[in-house]
Structure 1
Amino acid sequence: MIASRKAVGQPKGRPTQDDYQMLAAFRLTLRRYHGFSELAALQEGLKPQQHQALLSIKALSAKTPPSVGDVAEQLLIRPHSAVELINRLGRMGLVKRLKDPDDGRKVRIALTALAEEKLAVLSATHLNELNSLRPLLMKLLRNIQP
């Protein structure tokens, strides 16, 4: 969920030139990572949002497969948009629907073996990229003045 200005708090005083430079560098680094992520997904035959959905489903599946609503919440999209996305992933053979054992009306989403393989490749690539960006991100974050 996106934090509101009130939740984040007001900055103390006026930003300095160093603050502006740090913010610009941080945004550029995030945008480059985002661009890297989109290209990596496309190279695996996935649209970026499909990759994000698979990653969310995997992350949420630690205890039980997530519901469509859980996926929608993680992707910051409406449930009906998540249904369409999950339908496309299903047609691609990447997800399957499961009945909730406790509530037969609820549908759970699980990854297929094909999705697990694609996601493992993408996640390893993303972790390597983050590892290479770590020193720069840490430097930028350390430079944020409270």
Structure 2
Amino acid sequence: MEKKSLIALDKAGLERQSEFRYRLRRFLRFGEEAARAAGVTAVQYHLMLHTQAFPGREWASIGELAERLQTQQHGVVALVTRCEEAGLVRRKENQEDRRLVEVHLTAKGRRCVEKLAALHFAELGNLAEVIEAARASAAPG
């Protein structure tokens, strides 16, 4: 992690940071509850979402998913196994590099991701408002 100089925050800066953290936690809780209502865990939803994160392809590797989920590869392997058993994803050997395992959504997984992503979109807008307000108030001028 790069070392950055610390910025002293005034009361208003602390309030903005608190509001952001509060809204972020609300967004995360919303996601947890929405995923549960759809019959998956939040981390299963995140794994499925991240399979669609790379332009030009419809899959992600175990290593890429581990990075996106900020966890260890062996944990992702176990999560993929659980998602596979639930019919949400399937593994496929990469044709160019047989050591690489591709994780693809199934039709069931795609329906689940599309439904949950649509629900998250409006909530994400609320979080974006807080970020923009914080940026605007911190901008020089």
Q: TM-score, normalised by structure 1?
A: 0.87
Q: Do residues 109 (structure 1) and 88 (structure 2) align?
A: no
Give the aligned partner of residue 10 of structure 1.
Answer: 5
Alpha-carbon distance in 2 for matches of 1:37, 1:62:
27
Superposed counterparts of 1:32-47, under 5 Å: 32-47=26-41
Q: Is the 8 A contact 2:20 2:127 kept in 1?
A: no
Give the aligned partner of residue 93 of structure 1.
Answer: 87
- Runs of at least 4 residues off by over 6 Å: none
Structure 2 unmatched runs, 5+: none
Same amino acid, percent of matched pairs? 29
Q: Is the 8 A contact 1:97 1:110 kept in 2?
A: yes
Q: Is the 8 A contact 1:100 1:107 kept in 2?
A: yes
The CA deviation string for residues 52-86 of structure 1, in whole angstroms up to 9 with x for no partner, is 10111121363252211111111011000000000
One-letter identity of the residue aligned with 2:24: L
Alpha-carbon distance in 2 for matches of 1:138, 1:94:
35
One-letter identity of the residue aligned with 1:10: S
The CA deviation string for residues 69-117 of structure 1, in whole angstroms up to 9 with x for no partner, is 1111110110000000000000000000111010122211100000000
Alpha-carbon distance in 1 for matches of 2:138, 2:94:
45
- Measured on the aligned residues, the alpha-carbon RMSD in Å equals 1.8
Q: Is the 8 A contact 1:72 1:78 kept in 2?
A: yes
Give the aligned partner of residue 20 of structure 2.
Answer: 26
Of 129, 136, 142, the match for 2:130: 136
The CA deviation string for residues 11-59 of structure 1, in whole angstroms up to 9 with x for no partner, is 34x3211111111111111111111111111111111111110111121
Q: TM-score, normalised by structure 2?
A: 0.90
Of 41, 45, 49, the match for 1:51: 45
**Alpha carbons of structure 1 residues 64 and 133: separation in structure 2 relative to 1, 3 Å:** closer
Q: Is the 8 A contact 2:52 2:58 kept in 1?
A: no
